Amino acid sequence: MKILTADFILTCNEDFDVLTHGAICFDKTIVEVGRKEDLIKKYPNAEVTDLPKNSILMPGLINPHVHLEFSSNTSSLAYGDFMSWLNSVIEKRDDLLLTCSDEIIEEQLKIMLQSGTTTIGAVSSFGNDFDACLRAKQRVVFFTEVLGSRPDSVDILFDSFKSRLRIAQDNESERFIPAISIHSPYSTHPILAKNALDLARKFGYAVSTHFMEARAERDWLDNGKGEFYDFFANFSPYAKPLCTALEYIELFRGTKTLFTHCVQATANELEAIKNIGGAVTHCPVSNRLLGVGKLDMKKVEETHSTLTIGTDGLSSNISLNLWDEMRAVIFTHTQEALNDLAKKVLIATTKDAATALNLNCGQIAEGKFADLIVCQMAQEIENKEDLPLQLILHTKHTHLTFIAGESV
């Protein structure tokens, strides 16, 4: 049993309560939150640590959407236009997968841990990241991904997907949680998606999918035209959209699904995502590098959709540090009031991300897993209303990190 005291405790609960000069008692889970004197009296055998001045104690960060299999990329892919990037990924894919060793992935996991990311949603297209994720200190929601649009390949692709999923299932633990990813509406045959989603419902798994990332996707699903028409013509002269956007969303009913990007999503589509209990994952750096525009935050708020924030992978980012991504949100959405946006961003990377992934963490509250981080500010913050923004602006690494009550 441990007791930590801090100048500020950021609960990241529904009301975004900020406690001053408080303390928490925890082991694997949070036992109680309150005053230091009361907790010491109640738990006399607990190990007490007074954190340094200007310390902020808060839940560990949750990155719900990251691709680790392309972590060897630095400057080999084309940026600025989605289709140019996609073609460069196809061209360079084998080389990037071959050069992305376990050591490279483990280094990125270490960087994320040092910056306070205690849970990741790892989207695994090929399984090359499996061993590193299994050994990770973080809590890993491991999304085995399925993709393929050719109807004559559905059975083969599904069997391959099930083989990779079974390996994840055989290694399930409290910190390694199997999950399922459907790549996107333009790349995954509806029968393949439906079969995989039936498994997600059967086992109660979280689901991830890319949705409405680029204008090319919008044009293709709506009209069967645009840049994807030429792209798919290289594979089949008779290619056509496999479903509409709303039909695709409906496939996920009865699952907990994170719809990643949603830059081109309409209000009706965001409403549909919300109505099936889905969440939206925002990846602003990736969106900028691929030239797809930016998420309409106002539209997301108006539909009361759950918002999470992810880094995507190093194929479309330069950092997997979630603080960098949070800063990108702050500087991208210039019409939002800064302090209000900072609170939304912290909730999106803690409480709401945990809810979207169906995890018992993301808040400083009794009964939640003690996945905790301690950040230390260089100067005293006199007004706690300024705390969320200043924390995001100035934090790069944590002072302490705990996962399930264990210091990592």
Active site residue 382: no
Q: What average pLDDT score do residues 358-373 get?
A: 98
What angle separates helix 190-203 from helix 154-170, to the nearest 10 degrees?
20
Q: What average pLDDT score do residues 300-312 get?
A: 95
Confidence label for 152 from pLDDT (cuts 50, 70 and 90) = confident
Confidence label for 236 from pLDDT (cuts 50, 70 and 90) = confident
Q: What average pLDDT score do residues 260-277 get?
A: 97
In this predicted structure, what is the pLDDT of residue 337? 95
Phi, psi (rounded to 5 degrees) for 307 = -110, 130
Look up the CATH number of domain 61-357. 3.20.20.140
Q: Which residue has the tokens 């509406």?
A: 185
In this predicted structure, what is the pLDDT of residue 212? 98
What is the tens place of the pLDDT at every residue in 114-141? Answer: 999 999 999 999 999 999 999 999 999 9
Phi, psi (rounded to 5 degrees) for 177 = -115, 115
Residue 238 has pLDDT above 80, yes or no: no
In this predicted structure, what is the pLDDT of residue 73? 97
In this predicted structure, what is the pLDDT of residue 229? 92
Q: Exposed, middle or buried, 102 (CB in 10 Å: 0-12/13-18/19+)?
A: middle
Residue from 129, 272, 277, 287 nearest 207 by CA: 277
Confidence label for 92 from pLDDT (cuts 50, 70 and 90) = very high
Domain 2-60+362-407 has CATH 2.30.40.10: yes
Residue 225 has pLDDT above 80, yes or no: yes
In this predicted structure, what is the pLDDT of residue 234? 79
Tokens of 120: 């990741």
In this predicted structure, what is the pLDDT of residue 273? 98
Q: In angstroms, what CA-CA distances link 244 with 184, 215, 223, 224, 240?
A: 12, 15, 9, 10, 11
Confidence label for 226 from pLDDT (cuts 50, 70 and 90) = very high
> Do the beta carbons of residue 283 and residue 252 sit within 8 Å?
no
What is the tens place of the pLDDT at every residue in 17-60? Answer: 999 999 999 999 999 999 999 999 999 999 999 999 999 999 99
Report which DSSP code applies to 238: T
Q: Which residue has the tokens 């925002």?
A: 282
What SS3 state is found at 152? helix
Residue 239 has pLDDT above 90, yes or no: no
Other CB atoms within a 10 A radius of the CB of residue 262 amount to 27
Residue 202 has pLDDT above 80, yes or no: yes
Q: Where are the domains of the chain?
A: 2-60+362-407, 61-357
Q: Exposed, middle or buried, 334 (CB in 10 Å: 0-12/13-18/19+)?
A: exposed
Residue from 90, 179, 95 nearest 133 by CA: 179
Residue from 382, 330, 322, 328 nearest 59 by CA: 322
Candidate list 69, 145, 213, 325, residue with the active-site label: 213
